[in-house]
Chain A
Amino acid sequence: MRIVKLATASLLSRKSNAVLTLMAIAISVMLLLGVERVSQETRSGFANTISGTDLIVGARSGSVNLLLYSVFHIGNPTNNITWNTYQHWANNSQVAWSVPIALGDSVRGYPVVATEPSFFQHFRYAQQQPLQFSEGAAFQRGEAVIGAEVARQLNLSVGSDLVIAHGTGSVSFHEHDDHPMHIAGVLERTGTPVDQAIYISLRDLDIMHGGAHDDASNGHEHNHEHNHEHNHEHNHEHNHEDNHDHESSVANEYEGTHESHDAEEHHTHNHSTGSHSDHGDSAEHEHEILAGRNHSASNEIQPPIPGISAFLVGLQSKPRAIFMQRQINTYREEPLTAIMPGSTLQELWRTLSGFERALSVVSGFVLLAGLLGMLATILASLRERRREMAVLRSIGAGPGTIFTLLVSETMVLTLAGMAAGVGLLYGFIFMLAPWIQASFGVVVELSGISSAEWLRLGIVFVAGFFISLIPAWRAYRNSLSDGLSMRV
């Protein structure tokens, strides 16, 4: 123990060197653990995001893309599915339940998911946990349900009003402020992207997008524009104060009831000039939801919305999922992609794990650099410490003691560096966790050190020990040859 005390005192006398070396080790340890921590948390966060859903169906696209936009609200749907197609599959005898979702709008950067109230019944996350309301209940027409994080960040609760903005950016020029939503419920925290989302009914979304926005304050009455739509003779005039470029889209051609129309629009609103929004970014929005409306204002069984982004499916028999997946993928009426969330998560993870491995390798090399820096510092210090060694030998320290002293010194540095690295890691997690959650919907918890992390710490310790043998051996040899003579 007295050797360790001596080693510490000696290190403290070379404080600036010691602190710099310690920081180098701390940073490399932080990186090493951080890569492990983030990938672990991401892995479990991703895996916990959805469960109980057998298939997710969207327009033809890559499976990872479909998963990302439908579950994580990252990226945009490539295309829409017509309501008819959705109905076709929803009524399939294999399908126990299905929930449509339509994406594309947001509230201050939080994605708006238009769906049906049955979503709250069928959606499961983590280990088959259902969504719970911390306040209120599922939405009715004109109402919204918000995730826990949205409620906290935007300081909203049941009864508040919510103005939905067009597009998915955190900044929007175009708000559906003529159609404010009333908050009906707040969900319990789940640690999944659900916390970040706002849920409204499909019908409301459709009304918002079908409506002319200058028909001030008429609440939910938008009959006039339904008529417009039916005429198919204009390009969805949104009479905003600012300029909208309406680009025609080739993507939304519907085979359903409107064989011949080409008036259906894919709108891109290019707001290049001033706006009534309080944000200041340009927003280009693909406006899939508008496409293919085939409803009639007078028809009672009209679809709530002409097109949806995706739908979640629960099957009568789970083993049939592969069969159903193939059936949906080869559906002739409309090109669709069906994915099994579990296996696509695996696929997503495989994509990410290569990246993770690369990061691990890099942080391994950073560690090596840190340890070599420590080695260089200690070896350099040995030269000016030969006197110190002679003094220690004169009072009875053997070469073995000198060896132990040098090993202790290196290990004190390594351990302090490891502790500082763990401290830095937790500091960063503490600071960055809200950002990671907001950006990726992944909750990185301030949990204890996992066994994989202990393993990595163990590797650092062992590596530090082996590094320490080098200066220790050098000092041992020196003290044998120098004896009591003071070579400087």
Chain B
Amino acid sequence: MATWCIRGQGIQFTWPRQSQPTIDIAELEIKIGERVLLRGPSGSGKSTLLSLLAGVHSVQAGSLSILDAELSQLSQRKRDKFRADHIGYIFQQFNLLPYLSVIQNVLLAIDFSKTRAKRLADRSISAQAESERLLTRLGIAADLWLKPAGNLSVGQQQRVAAARALIGAPELIIADEPTSALDTDARDTFLNLLNEECEQQKITLVFVTHDTTLSHHFDRIIQLADINCNSKDIANAAVESDLNDSAAYNGNKEA
């Protein structure tokens, strides 16, 4: 039984046409079921780190494994599938396809992942029933379910996005400042609901924000600036990447 949800060592990522790596993290470990707040000022490489965690981009050096899968060893296509099956992602805003109904938006996550569909089937719950349960749980009234998602308020849209991220019980939820567009009350409600669901289904939560008042909702706070030494020079990075290749392999075995 694995204990680590996210395990990264010597992670490096440099955007094309940039001399400095945007991400250079020696170690990042997040346990299964842990709810982590990731804080960093803008430009600290938050978005880049999230896209690495979500498997949209692949680390150029070091190892990054999620649920024991070494992402850099997966093909682009497999990483996309991995994301569909195991990761729920919530954006800051505009999470929904405005031309689909609320419920269709939630079901979209099931459409793209057989694994999520199977998880529900194993518990003999229909996708429809589960999305209705989640929407109700997150406080979206039934009369909104068939409305086009574009008609909902921002707060409602974020909760629908949360329902979509949660459906089919993925192991990891990555939320990229999902509350920044919400007022304080809505923010607390949203966080409470999200936390409860994650707790119930043993979902790991990585929550990015620069809002300092939210700390009490989380098990642990990671300051990105503390772990990301993106001022390292390129020569060093190259040497380190060689070392980390073998470390990644070992790390995998260990986990």
Contacts and interface: CB of A to CB of B under 8 A. Distances in A.
A395 interface: yes
B96 interface: yes
Interface in B102-135: 104, 108-109, 111-113
Contacts of A6: 97
A2 interface: yes
Contacts of A10: 97, 99
A318 to B, nearest CB: 70
A393 B56 contact: yes
A398 B81 CA distance: 8
B89 interface: yes
B112 to A, nearest CB: 4
B51 A397 contact: no
Nearest to B95: A391
Interface centre among B51, B93, B97 (most CB of A within 10 A): B97
Interface in B73-111: 76-77, 80-81, 83-85, 89, 91-100, 104, 108-109, 111
Contacts of A398: 76-77, 80-81
A400 B84 CA distance: 14
B50 A484 contact: yes
A9 B100 CA distance: 7
Interface string A187-203: 00000000000000000
Contact of B113 (A9, A13, A396, A401): A396
Q: Looking at chain A, what size class is its interface with the partner chain?
A: 20 to 34
B136 interface: no
Given A484-B51, A486-B91, A486-B94, A396 B84 contact: yes
A400 B77 contact: yes
Contacts of A9: 97, 99-100, 104
Contacts of B98: 13
Contacts of A343: none
Interface residues of B, number: 32
Contacts of B111: 2
Interface string A474-488: 000000000111100
A5 to B, nearest CB: 9
Nearest to B47: A485
Contacts of B164: 395
B165 to A, nearest CB: 9
Interface in A380-417: 387-388, 390-401
Contacts of B97: 6, 9-10, 388, 391-392
A interface secondary structure, majority: helix
A124 B153 CA distance: 77
A391 B50 contact: no
A392 B84 CA distance: 10
Contacts of A388: 97
A31 to B, nearest CB: 32
B57 interface: yes
Interface centre among B50, B51, B92 (most CB of A within 10 A): B51
A388 B57 CA distance: 19
A461 B112 CA distance: 28
A482 to B, nearest CB: 9
A322 interface: no
Interface in A155-205: none
Nearest to A12: B99
Contact of B80 (A2, A12, A13, A397): A397
A391 B111 CA distance: 14
Nearest to B52: A483
A484 B54 contact: yes
Contacts of B84: 395-397
Interface centre among B54, B76, B77, B80 (most CB of A within 10 A): B80
A13 B98 CA distance: 8
A10 B96 CA distance: 12
Contacts of A399: 76
A396 B51 contact: no
A8 to B, nearest CB: 10
Interface in B35-53: 47, 50-51
A204 B164 CA distance: 89
A396 B56 contact: no
B100 A396 contact: no
12 contacts: A9-B97, A13-B98, A388-B97, A390-B91, A391-B97, A393-B80, A395-B164, A401-B80, A484-B50, A484-B56, A485-B51, A486-B92
8 smallest beta-carbon distances between A and B, as pairs: A396-B84, A13-B99, A398-B80, A394-B89, A483-B56, A396-B112, A483-B51, A387-B94
